[in-house]
């Protein structure tokens, strides 16, 4: 088994920091301005891995903290779902009783707003780590100054009780290493890092990583001088850099308005608020001649760009999909239809709704791939766009014709079909969409009678869901993606 890391924290006594808020009593005729409202616990953080192995007969106390720090009552209540396997007392001391699995939960003594849990795996014996090997070639064990490298490793045996390793840099002036095994180059040279098992035997092994000098950037520019983002979108800009193998991790990023567009150390833009910001990338090598490039970024009202590469904003509506999976590595939603009477269907809903601005983006489109021939053979297939909440007349798009069935047009895009609605041409229920910023609480795309005639199996994949400024812009993208 190949591991990245699972953080394990050792046993320690619980320490609660803070003071209890004092309460001032008053009668109906006198109200003290100093009297504070009771502040309830909003979160309980357990300083432990999601699964904690324990040997039969052993016990431990977990470190934890509560938020906010000024909670009026920081008391908590502990509970075991299987006390015959692992018990827990009022102080949070967990005792391993019998081999098996138990869920330990902790909740506020006052409020019960949140519950945190940890899975306790009680074992009869501990399987110790006897060796550690990096699952990487010699060429992969190289990193540039300022760049990061995620180590991959295997343990022998492959299924130890405590698979977590403690990482330490023996040459921090050359490279640092995080608790998750991420090495960051500091300066050119040979770095040494040490991995130590967190079980009782603490097997230790050292590894070397070559830190290569920075390759300086000579020229720098953005491929796009300006672009528009959707609210909440994560965007990775394209850069023109010479030489082509220059060390990009040396770039420093800055946004003129981080409240509109935030940018992280890796150059990922996050659209936070409608507006405009200028993002600048700078390479400064201390020679007095920094190299920089800037890009104008607009977070536009009504723009949707759900491409499923970094995040997913859609959910399985009413459990209609038998299977609903966001495959982040492929950048798709993978859906398996659920049965409904004598046919199958999918229904997906945008989490939290969407703020449309039809004046800017009147087209809403869904790019969908069916198993081979299913769309063509399922002649009775129905599809709808249903929108309600926030609209004076919510309901089906194109409801005045065939109750909205097949109101969305369909275009071919290679192996995909693109379903789209044009809000300048058809109504939502009985009214046209307003031509200003309009929040719609529920946006649901649904397809019914799938495989009504077709005898097929397989998933239906959604590649993207976007709004467009015009039909021409939609068709232009389809033509590009067909190539």
Give the pLDDT confidence score for residue 13 in this predicted structure.
32
Give the other-Cβ count within 10 Å of 251's Cβ.
23
Low-confidence ranges of the chain (pLDDT < 70): 1-36, 112-113, 340-343, 452-456
Query: What is the per-residue pLDDT for 451?
Result: 79
Which numeric CATH code is attached to 306-482? 2.60.120
CATH topology of domain 43-123: Immunoglobulin-like (2.60.40)
Does the fold of domain 306-482 match that of domain 43-123?
no
Query: What are the residue ranges spanned by the domains of the chain?
Result: 43-123, 131-212, 219-300, 306-482
Query: What's the confidence (pLDDT) of residue 131?
Result: 97
Per-residue DSSP letters for 338-396? EEETTEEEEEEEETT-EEE-TTT--EEEEEEEPSTTHHHH-TT-EEEEEEESSSTT-EE
Task: State the pLDDT at residue 60.
Answer: 94
Tens digit of pLDDT for each residue in 255-271? 999 999 999 999 999 99
What CATH class does 131-212 carry?
Answer: mainly beta
- Under CATH, what is the fold of the domain 219-300? Immunoglobulin-like (2.60.40)
The backbone region for 352, taken as left when phi is positive above 0, alpha when psi lies in -120 to 50, beta otherwise, is: left
In angstroms, the CA 209 to CA 140 distance is 9
pLDDT tens digits, 196-248: 999 989 999 999 999 999 999 999 999 999 999 999 999 999 999 999 999 99
How far apart are the C-alpha atoms of 56 and 101, rounded to whole Å? 12
pLDDT at position 455: 63
Q: For 155, how many CA atoms within 13 A lie in the half-sphere containing its CB?
A: 24
Look at residues 448, 480, 451 and name the one whose alpha carbon lies nearest to residue 464: 480
**What is the distance of C-alpha 384 from the center of its chain?**
29
pTM over 0.85: no
DSSP string over 439-461: EESEEEEEEEEETSS------EE
Can you tell me which residue has the tokens 């991995």?
Answer: 195
């Amino acid at each position: 088994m190949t591991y990245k890391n699972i953080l394990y924290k050792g046993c320690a006594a619980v320490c609660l920091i803070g003071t209890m808020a004092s309460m001032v009593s008053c009668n109906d005729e006198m109200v003290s301005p100093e009297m504070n409202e009771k502040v309830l616990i909003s979160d309980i953080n357990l300083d432990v891995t999601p699964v904690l192995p324990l040997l039969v007969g052993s016990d431990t106390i977990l470190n934890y903290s509560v938020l906010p720090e000024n909670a009026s009552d920081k008391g908590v209540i502990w509970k075991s779902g299987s006390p015959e396997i692992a018990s827990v007392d009022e102080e949070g001391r967990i005792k391993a009783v019998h081999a098996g699995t138990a869920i330990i939960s902790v909740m506020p003594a006052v409020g019960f707003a949140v519950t945190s849990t940890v899975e306790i795996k009680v074992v009869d014996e501990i399987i110790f780590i006897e060796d550690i090997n990096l699952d990487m070639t010699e060429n992969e064990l190289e990193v540039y100054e300022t760049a990061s490298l995620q180590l991959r490793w295997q343990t022998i045996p492959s299924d130890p009780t405590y698979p977590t390793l403690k990482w330490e840099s023996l040459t921090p002036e050359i490279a640092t290493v995080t608790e998750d095994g991420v090495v960051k180059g500091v300066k050119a040279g040979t770095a040494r890092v040490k991995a130590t098992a967190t079980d009782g035997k603490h097997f230790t092994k050292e590894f070397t990583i070559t830190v290569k000098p920075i390759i300086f950037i000579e020229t720098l520019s953005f491929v796009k001088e300006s672009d528009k983002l959707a609210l909440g979108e994560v965007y990775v800009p394209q850069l023109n850099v010479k030489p082509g193998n220059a060390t990009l991790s040396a770039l420093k990023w800055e946004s003129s308005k981080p409240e509109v567009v935030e940018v992280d150390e890796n150059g990922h833009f996050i659209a936070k608020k409608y507006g405009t910001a200028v993002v600048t990338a700078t390479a400064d090598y201390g020679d007095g001649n920094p190299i920089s490039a800037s890009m104008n970024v607009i977070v536009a009202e009504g723009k949707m760009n759900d491409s499923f590469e970094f995040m997913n904003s859609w959910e399985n509506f009413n459990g209609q999909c038998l299977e609903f999976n966001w495959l982040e590595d492929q950048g798709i939603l993978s859906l398996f239809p659920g049965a409904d009477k004598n046919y199958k269907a999918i229904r997906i809903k945008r989490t939290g709704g969407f703020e449309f601005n039809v004046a800017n983006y009147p087209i809403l489109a869904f790019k969908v791939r069916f198993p081979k021939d299913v769309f063509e053979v399922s002649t009775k297939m129905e599809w709808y766009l249903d929108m309600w909440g926030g609209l004076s007349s919510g309901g089906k798009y194109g409801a005045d014709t065939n109750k909205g069935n097949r109101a969305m047009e369909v275009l071919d895009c290679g192996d995909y079909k693109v379903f789209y609605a044009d809000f300048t041409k058809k109504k939502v229920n009985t009214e046209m969409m307003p031509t200003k910023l309009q929040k719609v609480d529920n946006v649901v795309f649904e397809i019914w009678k799938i495989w009504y005639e077709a005898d097929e199996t397989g998933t239906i994949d959604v590649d993207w869901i976007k709004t467009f400024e015009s039909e021409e812009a939609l068709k232009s993208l389809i033509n590009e993606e067909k190539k």
